[in-house]
Amino acid sequence: MVKLIHELDFIDNYIRIQQVRFGDRLKFVKQVDFSCLNVEIPPMILQPLVENSVKYGIAPKEDGGTIILTVKRFNNMIFFEVKDDGLGSKAKKVMDGSSSGVGMKNTDQRLKSIFGPGSGLRIHSNEWGYSVSFFIPYEEIVEELKSKAM
């Protein structure tokens, strides 16, 4: 497990590299609840979601687009979402089945095996973009952090 703040640093570095490649065509917005920064999450759990947005949503779209990463707490749950205004359901991989979906399947399985079946990926696609989200329980994370502090 890694702290969310470290995972976000890794994603920021990835996005910087992609912005060199795509220039103004790629915009990235983070909406992260400050109180979640020290929460521990599985390493590389968000990265494949961001990569998919770049690769299948924004890159093939002539005028590019925006990826929004949201992390916020709802009572005893933490909500994560990677959303883009890219090609969505019009993406080539959706139309011709060219993507194996291994990265998404692995991410979904990892979340379920660590946090239970309710933490699996929720995927929404339409002609205006793509959204992948999941929840993890906050209670368990708080208890784990408390036990590490003692």
State pTM to two decimals: 0.86
Q: Which amino acid is it at 119? A: S
pLDDT tens for the chain, residues 1 to 150: 999 999 999 999 999 999 999 999 999 999 999 999 999 999 999 999 999 999 989 999 999 999 999 999 988 899 999 999 998 888 766 444 445 567 788 999 999 999 998 899 999 988 899 999 999 998 655 455 455 555
Rounded Cα–Cα distance for residues 123 and 52 (Å): 12
Q: Which pLDDT score, from 0 to 100, does residue 97 have? A: 47
Q: Which pLDDT score, from 0 to 100, does residue 78 have? A: 96
Q: Which pLDDT score, from 0 to 100, does residue 96 have? A: 46
Q: Identify the three-state secondary structure at position 91.
A: coil
Q: Which pLDDT score, from 0 to 100, does residue 123 have? A: 92
Rounded Cα–Cα distance for residues 121 and 32 (Å): 19
Indicate if the alpha-carbon torsion angle 33, 147, 116, 7 is positive or negative. Answer: positive
Q: Which pLDDT score, from 0 to 100, does residue 90 have? A: 81
Q: Which pLDDT score, from 0 to 100, does residue 67 have? A: 98
- Domain range list for the chain: 2-145
Q: Which fold has domain 2-145?
A: Heat Shock Protein 90 (3.30.565)
78: which DSSP letter?
A: E
